[in-house]
Structure 1
Amino acid sequence: MIAMPSTDLIIRPAVEQDEQAIRTLDNTVWSPLSEVTPKGPDDAPVFDRQHRPAQYLLAELDGELVGYIRQVQEIPLESSAHVRQIQGLAVLPQARGRGVGDALIAAACDAARAIGARRMTLRVLGHNAPARRLYERNGFAVLGVLPEHFLLEGAYVDDVWMGRALD
């Protein structure tokens, strides 16, 4: 069963002024279940040359930032301009189960489709069962697995490549 989003759920593009709110959200949801890098400092920049506001869609629920999704061109070549990749999805724990993740994925796929993309891919850690279920529910299938690709907290973890068509 998919939870329906609140009628007060708004998905909108990020702007420069959202940077600290995104960092706060990242630090709140950081977990070795989903992250391969250490938790960043509270004042670390979110936006830089590779991470621009235009790549982010934000979810606001009842006026509060509760999640985001970031999508980019997977490989910066003209020959693969039709493939986009989700490179970040976060939802606050108190907003989970309310359709926020589903709404963010749908919005990212719609935005990619609007610029001519035909495929969406992502990478997810093999042990992150909740995220894998979310992606599968939204039409993503496993394309490949890099076994034991990361060593996290003393355990080897698979890197799972997933994708879906956007048509």
Structure 2
Amino acid sequence: MSRQPPLIRFAVPEDDGALSRLDGDTWSYLHAVVERREPPYPPFFSDRFGPRDHLVAELDGRVVGYIRLVRPTSLPSNAHVRQVQGLAVAPAARGHGVGRALVRAAVEESRRQDARRLTLRVLGHNTPARKLYEAEGFVVEGVLPEEFLLDGEYVDDVLMGRSLHDGTWRSAGAGES
């Protein structure tokens, strides 16, 4: 695997097969709350999540990771928030900065979309992911204890978030007299 930094780009419809395989190949109770699927894997893109909701990482011309970045709700009052709703890195690409590059790209894309916050949920026992998110500025904002029963073990759902503004933002009317 190349030591070049990964190329990060938006997904395109032609990535569907590669992303579907990646999702299936990386499945683990460490991060998944749904049952394991066996090949042939279903389509990756759906009516709910399309190519523009995903940033993908390429190394040596191959898709080796993705991050799903979406609005958490359709409410106008929540339009300033983006949420990571999935991150996967191929086992062979781990340790090559792919996950970190995807998280950083999600932060930058969220800022480009004028979001003020970026949030995510991570399973309490997923120490590698939690350490990555913490290193990238995310903090624990809440814990839902024993939220999931996975492979016979109760697992916490950890809510994390980070601010995306530089402190210069003012609410409408702030400072006006």
TM-score by length of 2: 0.89
Unaligned 5+ runs, structure 1: none
- The 2-side partners of 1:39 and 1:6 are apart by 31
- The 2-side partners of 1:56 and 1:30 are apart by 18
Q: Is the Cα contact below 8 Å between 1:123 and 1:161 reproduced in 2?
A: yes
Q: Note the C-alpha offset of 1:6.
A: 3.5
- The 1-side partners of 2:46 and 2:142 are apart by 30
Q: Note the C-alpha offset of 1:145.
A: 0.2
How big is each residue's C-alpha offset from its partner over 1:55-92, in whole Å with a ceiling of 9 and x where there is no partner? 00000011111100001001211111000000000001
Counterpart residue number, 2:29? 32
Matched, 1:120 2:122: no
Q: Is the Cα contact below 8 Å between 2:5 and 2:97 reproduced in 1?
A: no
TM-score by length of 1: 0.94
Counterpart residue number, 1:15? 12
Q: Note the C-alpha offset of 1:43.
A: 3.0
- Secondary structure, counterpart of 1:23 in structure 2: helix
Counterpart residue number, 1:54? 52
- The 2-side partners of 1:92 and 1:47 are apart by 18
Counterpart residue number, 2:175? none
Report how many residues are paired.
Answer: 163
- The 2-side partners of 1:57 and 1:95 are apart by 16
- The 1-side partners of 2:57 and 2:106 are apart by 11
Q: Which has the larger radius of gyration?
A: 2
Q: Is the Cα contact below 8 Å between 1:8 and 1:62 reproduced in 2?
A: no
Match of residue 95, structure 1, among 93, 96, 99:
93
Q: Note the C-alpha offset of 1:8.
A: 4.9
The runs of 4+ residues in structure 1 deviating greater than 3 Å are none
Q: Note the C-alpha offset of 1:93.
A: 1.2
Cα root mean square deviation, aligned:
1.2
Letter aligned with residue 52 of structure 1: G
